[in-house]
Amino acid sequence: MRIVQKFGGTSLAGIARVKATAAIVYDAHQQGHQVAVVVSAMSGETSRMHALSKDISTTAEAREVDVLLATGEQASAALLAMELKRLGVDAFSLTGAQAGIRTDSQFGRANIKTVDSKRLVAAMQAGKLAVITGFQGCDEAGNITTLGRGGSDTSAVAIAIAVDADVCDIYTDVDGIYTTDPRIVACAQKIKKISYEEMLEFASLGAKVLQTRSVGLAMKHGMPIHLRSSFDNIAGSMVCKEDKNMETACVTGVPFNRDEAKITLQGIPDQPGIAAGIFAPIAEAGINVDVIVQNISDHGLTDITFTVTRADYTKTMTMMHQHCLNMKAKQVFGSNDVAKVSIIGVGMKSHAGVAQTMFQTLAQAGINIEMITTSEIKVTVVIEETDVDRAVTLLHTAFGLDASTA
Amino acid sequence: MRIVQKFGGTSLAGIARVKATAAIVYDAHQQGHQVAVVVSAMSGETSRMHALSKDISTTAEAREVDVLLATGEQASAALLAMELKRLGVDAFSLTGAQAGIRTDSQFGRANIKTVDSKRLVAAMQAGKLAVITGFQGCDEAGNITTLGRGGSDTSAVAIAIAVDADVCDIYTDVDGIYTTDPRIVACAQKIKKISYEEMLEFASLGAKVLQTRSVGLAMKHGMPIHLRSSFDNIAGSMVCKEDKNMETACVTGVPFNRDEAKITLQGIPDQPGIAAGIFAPIAEAGINVDVIVQNISDHGLTDITFTVTRADYTKTMTMMHQHCLNMKAKQVFGSNDVAKVSIIGVGMKSHAGVAQTMFQTLAQAGINIEMITTSEIKVTVVIEETDVDRAVTLLHTAFGLDASTA
């Protein structure tokens, strides 16, 4: 097999972890696989660098911030290559630029344009093992660029695609994606296979194990991602194209997110451009809006409700109170003790009544639904935070996700 | 003027020092000079990196050690460029590779082969200011290489030569070269101009302010080096070709070094290859021999005396005792409380009796000379350590070096 392995900061935090990580790479290489490795900076290094640049200026030159940040992965790539070499593997480190990763020139949030994989493929075929700095590349002019936080996953997937790997193994500190949080639902199960689409929904719901961007890229090129733990040598979750097996389960998981606050603008004149008028100032303030629900209008007036993170609640409420006058809304109200619960599954597309099962399950438990949004493969409800544990447990059972206790 | 400025680790140790250094660069740029800057890693960073690689292996792969070490200068170059940018200078950082510094492939101790200065010259002419990582370059294959400790001085001089600079300003934590240590001789003077040859002798005598290699390179190309302090804005010492003015002083300075131990092999058969036989095992053990004196033979037997640093004294003595039998020496003895005092000056070449003045001065003070070696521009004596302060003070006066007390 040809494998691209990616290790995050926790897998490289200190010499002991570097050695443990090298042992994993060594094993794969010994088994005869063609292996290339992509690494992040040691945990904490990127934050330390950011702090240094902030000490210079909070608006430090983006080009130079990238030059500074790029040293983090360069150091960890060198250390891992050293250790592999010590173990007898013909390993060598490559910076993003050396590995042929060309990006555009948007410093701090560059996009990968091409990966020139000739050198990598030749090395893999010769039994050599390249340790590549994730998160970075260089632009046409040879300037060092970074892809933004979490960009290492994207680097790994892009390299896997370029070398036509069989799989991209992404090692983290969790051993896969679960049907829901095992701390809440004891019988939650690890999802063995999950489609790209479902993974995207999981990721955007706060299961921050895989960067959304990397999943999107993998989906586009059909590159399987094996999400697994660098602490245990067990199979994780395979993120891949949906297949026959997947269709048997109509719901794959029940993710949730407690960090939600909702705000309602009531009685706004229902005119074109009303939504843009509300959300433009919020976006300008750098506040991320999550769920948005607008009901059909009643006598020319409509209500809009949306959620933001709790940290942004007070600020957003102040803005909306001010804005309310301009928008001629009747009133503004909100609360910061709500949560979001979803059911996700590509199976929903072909199974009728899935949403109905969800609503009924919650109704029978006396849990009030405050907002509903749906997509092709997801139904999301906003409920009171105090109801979350019960809701998740009941839905997990209702959709047949509980692990069978032998 | 076109100036290449080089700043060492102490000038970049922490954000406050980076800002102070940027202010110096800014001033030179504001005065209308064409400026390029070469930086070392922040103090301590290179040692920290070395320690990390030693934690992996004491024989860590040299290529990867270089990749690791190179991050040190990359970080400081980025930070300095950021601060200059903040001050309004059109500054940008360049790695050694980006700056066109091509070296051979001797990782950890690479030699600069060429510097492609087109980009740098164009930038300087356009009023832009490149901040270049010292100490590093890349080989033909694009591998990152380092020049070895202290290599940043060499980088700076090489770049100054390549861009045809008027001067290479090397900023350190001392403000120049003194006729001798001002802590011993209060009336020691800063040397305003010193020839390359003299500087080379000073450097090899423990005045470790400028790397010997960089002085040799500057001498070869006639590049003036202005050695100055980054803490005070005053003129330092100019290292340049000897000129008429220099010839008036026959002795430029009286450097000394206390870290000496001497070892004598007495009564060795005077045969070809004898010196090689003695020093080969010492060199193999990585011990640096300093002064070597061999007298002419007497009845086919000769004595060889040499000095090493005190740290190496016991080890070397043990080796020599063992070796003594093989070499058929009569006996081995030594002491580790000697010191070396020199007088240096290109003027010596044309002034007779300089050595004689030295010997007479010491004799009159009752100071015993244990060893003597001479070169074109230097006379060195080994004496007892307890005599050093007196010897240096007397010689400083005897050669007219004392500052006139107004």
Residue A205: the pLDDT is: 63
Distance from CA of A64 to the nearest CA of B (A): 5
Is B181 within the bounds of a domain?
no
Closest Cβ–Cβ partner in B67, B92, B144 for A63:
B92
pLDDT digits (tens, 9 = 90+) for A208-265: 678 888 998 999 999 999 999 988 888 999 999 987 665 456 888 999 999 899 999 8
Q: Tell me how far apart the alpha carbons of residues B6 and B133 are, in angstroms, rounded to a whole number.
A: 10
Residue B37: the pLDDT is: 98
Q: Which of B146, B69, B115 is nearest to A78 (CA)?
A: B69
Is A364 within the bounds of a domain?
yes
Beta-ladder partners of A304: A265, A294
pLDDT digits (tens, 9 = 90+) for B170-195: 998 888 899 998 889 999 999 999 99
Q: Is the pLDDT of residue A152 over 80?
A: yes
Residue B125 in tokens: 């002419």
Q: Quick one: A312 and A166 in the same domain? A: no
Q: Quick one: B22 and B159 in the same domain? A: yes
Tell me the residues of A at the B interface, defined by beta carbons under 8 Å apart.
Answer: 15, 18-19, 49, 52-53, 55-57, 60-61, 63-65, 67-68, 70-72, 74-75, 77-79, 81-83, 85-86, 92-93, 95, 98, 142, 144
CB contact under 8 A, B61 and A81: yes
Is A217 within the bounds of a domain?
no
* CB neighbour burial string for A17-39, b if at least 16 within 10 angstroms, e if fewer: bbbbbbebbbebbeeebbbbbbb
Tell me the residues of B at the A interface, defined by beta carbons under 8 Å apart.
Answer: 15, 18-19, 49, 52-53, 55-57, 60-61, 63-65, 67-68, 70-72, 74-75, 77-79, 81-83, 85-86, 92-93, 95, 98, 142, 144
Q: Is the pLDDT of residue B406 over 50?
A: no
Q: Quick one: B284 and B384 in the same domain? A: yes
Q: Quick one: B261 and B134 in the same domain? A: no
Q: Is the pLDDT of residue A281 over 80?
A: yes
Q: Is the pLDDT of residue A386 over 80?
A: yes
The overall average pLDDT reported for chain B is 89
Is A250 within the bounds of a domain?
no
Q: Which of A357, A367, A183, A337 is nearest to A260 (CA)?
A: A337
Higher pLDDT, B367 or B404: B367
Closest Cβ–Cβ partner in B55, B71, B83 for A56:
B83
Is A189 within the bounds of a domain?
no
Q: How far, in whole angstroms, is CA A23 from its chain's centroid?
A: 27
Is B306 within the bounds of a domain?
yes
Residue B204: the pLDDT is: 64
User: Could you count the other beta carbons within 10 Å of the beta carbon of residue A288?
Assistant: 10
Residue B166: the pLDDT is: 97
Residue B174: the pLDDT is: 86
Q: Tell me how far apart the alpha carbons of residues A174 and B224 are, in angstroms, rounded to a whole number.
A: 59
Phi and psi torsions of A303, nearest 5°: -115, 140
Q: One-letter amino acid identity for B402?
A: D
Is residue B298 a contact partner of residue B311, using CB atoms and an 8 Å limit? no
Q: Is the pLDDT of residue B405 over 60?
A: no
Is A143 within the bounds of a domain?
yes
pLDDT digits (tens, 9 = 90+) for A5-54: 999 999 999 999 999 999 999 999 999 999 999 999 998 898 899 999 99
Tally of structural domains, chain B: 2
Phi and psi torsions of B82, nearest 5°: -55, -50
Residue A207: the pLDDT is: 58
Higher pLDDT, B155 or A283: B155
**Residues of B with CB below 8 A from A89's CB?**
none
CA end-to-end distance (rounded Å), chain B: 35
Residue A136: the pLDDT is: 96
Q: Quick one: B283 and B153 in the same domain? A: no
Q: For residue A53, what is the nearest residue in chain B, using CA coordinates?
A: B79
CATH code at A80? 3.40.1160.10
Q: Quick one: A43 and A148 in the same domain? A: yes
Higher pLDDT, A299 or B267: B267
Residue A406: the pLDDT is: 44
Q: Quick one: A26 and A162 in the same domain? A: yes
Given B157, B173, B189, the domain boundary residue is: B173
**Residues of A with CB below 8 A from B60's CB?**
82, 85-86
> Best interface-test mutation with A: which of B21, B55, B64, B86 has the largest number of A CBs within 10 A?
B64
Per-residue pLDDT, averaged over B160-173, amounts to 95
Distance from CA of B67 to the nearest CA of A (A): 6
Phi and psi torsions of B229, nearest 5°: -95, 140
CB contact under 8 A, A79 and B63: no
Give the confidence band of B245 by pLDDT, cuts at 50, 70, 90: low
Given B130, B149, B173, the domain boundary residue is: B173
For A32, the domain range is 2-173
Is residue B76 a contact partner of residue B116, using CB atoms and an 8 Å limit? no
Which of A115-129, A235-249, B7-21, B39-53 comes out lowest in average pLDDT? A235-249
CB contact under 8 A, B83 and A57: yes
Q: Quick one: B6 and B154 in the same domain? A: yes
**Residues of A with CB below 8 A from B68's CB?**
74-75, 78-79, 82
Per-residue pLDDT, averaged over A270-290, amounts to 81
Q: Quick one: B269 and B154 in the same domain? A: no
Q: Is the pLDDT of residue A203 over 80?
A: no
Q: Quick one: A151 and A265 in the same domain? A: no
Q: How far, in whole angstroms, is CA B352 from its chain's centroid?
A: 29
Give the confidence band of B231 by pLDDT, cuts at 50, 70, 90: confident
Residue B42: the pLDDT is: 93
Report strand pairing: B193-195 vs B292-294. unpaired
Q: Is the pLDDT of residue B244 over 70?
A: no
Q: Is the pLDDT of residue A267 over 90?
A: no
Q: One-letter amino acid identity for A116?
A: D
pLDDT digits (tens, 9 = 90+) for A88-102: 999 999 999 999 999
Is A8 within the bounds of a domain?
yes
CATH code at A327? 3.30.2130.10
Given B173, B196, B230, the domain boundary residue is: B173
Percent of chain B predicted with pLDDT > 70: 96
Phi and psi torsions of A263, nearest 5°: -135, 130
Q: Is the pLDDT of residue A394 over 60?
A: yes
Q: Tell me how far apart the alpha carbons of residues A25 and A17 are, in angstroms, rounded to a whole number.
A: 12
Q: Is the pLDDT of residue B298 over 50?
A: yes
Q: Is the pLDDT of residue A283 over 90?
A: no
Per-residue pLDDT, averaged over B90-100, amounts to 96
Is residue A117 a contact partner of residue A159, using CB atoms and an 8 Å limit? yes
Q: Where are the beta strands (DSSP E) in A104-162?
A: 112-115, 129-133, 136-138, 144-146
CB contact under 8 A, A60 and B86: yes
Q: Quick one: B29 and B162 in the same domain? A: yes
Residue B239 in tokens: 């290292």
Give me the interface pTM, i.e. the ipTM. Answer: 0.80
> Best interface-test mutation with B: which of A53, A71, A95, A132 has the largest number of B CBs within 10 A?
A71
